[in-house]
Each structure stands twice: as C-alpha cells, then as structure tokens.
Amino acid sequence: MELKDSAYSPEQLQELLGQFVVEEREFSFKPLHIGLINDTFLVCDGDTPMYILQRINHTVFSNVGGLMNNVSSALQALRASDYSEIQLIKTVDGSYFTKAALGYWRLMSFIADSTTYNTTTVKETAFEAGRVVGKFHLLLEDQDLLKYTDTIPRFHDLTLREQQFAMAIANADPLKLKTAKEHIAFAKETLNTLKGIAIDALKPRVCHNDTKLNNILFSKQTGKGLCLIDLDTIMKGYFFYDFGDAIRTVVNTAPEDEKQLDKICFKEYLFIAFAEGLASNPTFLSRAELESLPMGAVFMPFIHGLRALTDYLENNRYYKVAYENQNLDRCISLFDFSKKALDKIPFMETELQRLFPEID
Ligand code: GN1
Ligand code: MG
C-alpha cells in the first residue's frame, strides 16, 4: 500500500524541491488527490501554482529511467502552436528525476490558467478532447517506437490481464469470490468474446495509454483543450486504446466508480462531438484503425473493470482506494459502461463512417 499524501511534511517536500533547478525561495505544497498511482503536489509561490511535484510509484513503474526517457522523447515531439508545452525541470545533477529516501520524484512546469474535468456534459469540451487526443497522435506519428521502453509490458493486453485475474481468483478470500460472483461470471464470458479481436492489421503507435478526460488540460479562459498530462504510460500501443479510454470518460457523465448504474450513460451527442474534434485534425488513421474504434470503446472500460476486479480480489494491492470495496464499485461501473457501449456499436460505426469519409 502506498504512503498517503499527508505522509510528507512541508519540510521534506521543500528539501526534495531543492534537488531541482528552481529559484531558492519558500514554496507551499498542495496535495492533489488525482490519480490512483502516484502522489502529486502543486507547488505554489504565494497563490500562484508554479510546478507539479510528483512521487513516481516505483512498485508500478520499476523502470523510472525508461519512463522519464519516454516522457522526454515525447515532449520533444509534442511541440506545436496549438499544443501547450510541459517542461521537465532537471535536477541539479542534470537528471529528470531524483531518487531520495522518500522514493523517486520529478518536477514539471504547471501550465497557468488550466484546469481538468472528471466528467462533462458540454459538447465543446468533448470536441476539444477529441481534437487534443488527435493532435497528440499526429505530433507523435513519426516517432521511432524503438526509442520507447515498454515501462509496463503488455499494459492493455487482455491475455495478460486474464492470467492475472485467474491467479487472483485462485488465491482470493472465498467471501470476496461470493460477493463478486456475478461480476466474475460476466468477466469470464466477456473475455471469451473480446480475446478474439484481431490486432494484426493495426499500426503500433506511441500512445498515451491513459487518455481519460481528466488527463486532458483545458484553458480556464477559453475552454480550449491545451494538451495531455499524466505522461507516465507513454509507450507502444494501438490507437483504439487511446480512443476507448477517452470515450469511456467523455461520453459517460457519471464518475468511473458511480454506484447508481442508472446514472452511467453513453451520451450520443458527446460521442459525436468527440469524434468531430478528432476528425478536425488532418487524417492519420488507416481504415483498419478506424474500424477498430467502436470496439475500443467496449474494450477499454472492460479491461479497466477487469483490473479493478482483480485488485479487489487481491485486497487492493495496486490501486489507491478510499474505502475497502471501491475497486469492486469501479469494476461494476466500468463493466456497466462497457455493456452500454456495446449496444452503441452500430451508432459509433455509422458516425465514424460519416465523419471520416476520406479513409479507405
Ligand atoms: C490509473 O493513476 P491514474 O489514475 O493516472 C491506471 C490507469 C487507469 C486509471 C483508472 C499505470 O491511472 O490505467 O485507467 O488508474 N494507471 C496505471 O482511473 O495502472
Ligand atoms: Mg495515469
């Protein structure tokens, strides 16, 4: 189990900050309770946010050097007038991270007047989300995949996730198996359907691999999408991963651990807006990739639900949880969205065909 944000004193954080090339002055630190993996702090000069200081979860990311190389390679390519630049602040030793007694830490610039949204009902926000995800891929299109390390090998590989799930079942507390019985059965049934997906025709690309809506930065002033954040999982993947992860959070107006299933929805107007935003970029997708997208919107919530279920059975080893059964609630909610997305496949196919007529 990871340390809580409150486990670090301001003095410890100030000392960590001193290892990076920043002006010497007293900063304040505000824990940002975002993400389920790392510990994140906003570093402020008075009231002004200046940096993001982050402890990288070394249990999840064992190759911190590889991870930071991936991030820095991608950031060099992610430069465009309509894409905000995140800067990595080097340590006084010229490295992108520091290894201290308190773990592995890095420092990044904070983009002024920016914000994130966990969910949205606003068409323009969905459009901007699609536009920025597309722009990210366009800017990284020609990257040499060999420069990128697989920091979490087979991250979105269903066969691996199935093996981990089977192992969790074999070792789980019988009471938990009983509580989750219905969801375990759904997972097994769906695994058989989704494992058959053909990926051979798809182009491996440098992907973000965690494109949920709250990993997209928006301008507070104009509402325009600025860039993607949380770059830890930048590595090889398929475009349908990034598409599906964005869709599951953009078109569902409920949070990912919503307990009232009637609140979980697939809003068609938000899907159309997202796809329009994506299509506002010059075309970069192949026909095979385009055809893989509707299934991506089913696959991504399912694989996240499966991982949450596995972690529930393994007593919350991986994700941070606010309460004991949160992983199970996330699983139920994610599976529910996956089912709702499955019903929308014909709708998604029609809309994508309409919006990307030039791809053949
Ligand atoms: C984790 O920590 P965070 O929220 O950025 C996870 C993603 C999941 C997400 C669920 C490395 O990301 O795959 O989609 O939780 N990241 C990792 O919200 O496992
Ligand atoms: Mg993440």
Examine residue 1 and state whether it is found in any structural domain, yes or no.
Answer: no
Q: Which ligand sits closest to the CA of 40?
A: 1
pLDDT tens figures, 315-339:
999 999 999 999 999 999 999 999 9
Percent of the chain with pLDDT over 70: 98
The answer, yes or no, to whether any atom of ligand 1 lies below 6 A from the CB of 36, is yes
User: What local confidence, expressed as pLDDT, does residue 24 receive?
Assistant: 86
Q: Are residues 275 and 150 in the same domain?
A: yes
Q: Are residues 185 and 286 in the same domain?
A: yes
Burial of 5 by CB count in 10 Å (0-12 exposed, 13-18 middle, 19+ buried)? middle
Q: Are residues 288 and 247 in the same domain?
A: yes
Matching residue, tokens 């990871």:
2
pLDDT tens figures, 188-226:
999 999 987 888 899 999 999 999 999 999 999 999 999
Examine residue 340 and state whether it is found in any structural domain, yes or no.
Answer: yes
Examine residue 118 and state whether it is found in any structural domain, yes or no.
Answer: no
Examine residue 195 and state whether it is found in any structural domain, yes or no.
Answer: yes
> Percentage helix, strand, coil, to 5, in the chain?
45, 15, 40
Q: Are residues 180 and 298 in the same domain?
A: yes
Q: Are residues 108 and 136 in the same domain?
A: no
Residue nearest to atom 17 of ligand 1 (CA): 37
Q: How confident is the model at residue 6 (pLDDT cuts 50, 70, 90)?
A: low
Residue nearest to atom 15 of ligand 1 (CA): 36
Q: Which ligand sits closest to the CA of 57?
A: 1
In angstroms, the CA 264 to CA 118 distance is 14
User: What local confidence, expressed as pLDDT, does residue 1 receive?
Assistant: 34
Examine residue 117 and state whether it is found in any structural domain, yes or no.
Answer: no
Percent of the chain with pLDDT over 90: 91
User: What local confidence, expressed as pLDDT, does residue 2 receive?
Assistant: 41
Q: Which residues of 309-343 are buried (b: 16+ CB within 10 A; e: fewer)?
A: bbbbbbebebbbbeeebbbbbbbbbbbbbbbbbbe
Domain containing residue 43: CATH number: 3.30.200.20
Q: How confident is the model at residue 4 (pLDDT cuts 50, 70, 90)?
A: very low
CA 234 to ligand 2 center in whole angstroms: 10
Q: How confident is the model at residue 36 (pLDDT cuts 50, 70, 90)?
A: confident
Neighbours of ion ligand 2 (CB under 5 A): 210, 230
Examine residue 4 and state whether it is found in any structural domain, yes or no.
Answer: no
Q: Are residues 177 and 60 in the same domain?
A: no
Examine the pLDDT at 96 and tell me if it is beyond 70.
yes
Task: Out of 112, 141, 168, pick the residue that ends a domain.
Answer: 112
Task: Out of 65, 90, 112, pick the residue that ends a domain.
Answer: 112
The ipTM (two decimal places) reads 0.97
Domain containing residue 184: CATH number: 3.90.1200.10
Examine the pLDDT at 254 and tell me if it is beyond 50.
yes
Instruction: State the DSSP string of 303-355.
Output: HHHHHHHHHHHTTSSSS--SSTTHHHHHHHHHHHHHHHHHHTHHHHHHHHHHH
User: What local confidence, expressed as pLDDT, does residue 5 receive?
Assistant: 52
Q: Which of 5, 59, 58 is nearest to 33 (CA)?
A: 5
Examine residue 360 and state whether it is found in any structural domain, yes or no.
Answer: no
| Residue 167 Rama label (left phi>0; alpha psi -120 to 50; beta) | alpha
Examine the pLDDT at 98 and tell me if it is beyond 80.
yes
Q: Are residues 105 and 200 in the same domain?
A: no
Mean pLDDT computed over every residue of the chain = 95
Q: Are residues 61 and 91 in the same domain?
A: yes
Number of domains in the chain: 2
Q: Are residues 58 and 187 in the same domain?
A: no
Q: How many residues does the structure list for the chain? A: 360
Q: Are residues 236 and 198 in the same domain?
A: yes
Task: Out of 112, 140, 173, pick the residue that ends a domain.
Answer: 112
The answer, yes or no, to whether any atom of ligand 1 lies below 6 A from the CB of 60, is yes
pLDDT tens figures, 102-134:
899 999 999 999 999 999 999 999 999 999 999
Examine residue 306 and state whether it is found in any structural domain, yes or no.
Answer: yes
Structural domain including 332 reads 123-355
Q: Are residues 213 and 351 in the same domain?
A: yes
Helices (H) and strands (E) in the chain, counts: 11, 11
pLDDT tens figures, 287-311:
999 999 999 999 999 999 999 999 9
Report the range of poorest mean pLDDT among 3-17, 23-37, 241-255, 284-298.
3-17
Q: Are residues 91 and 147 in the same domain?
A: no
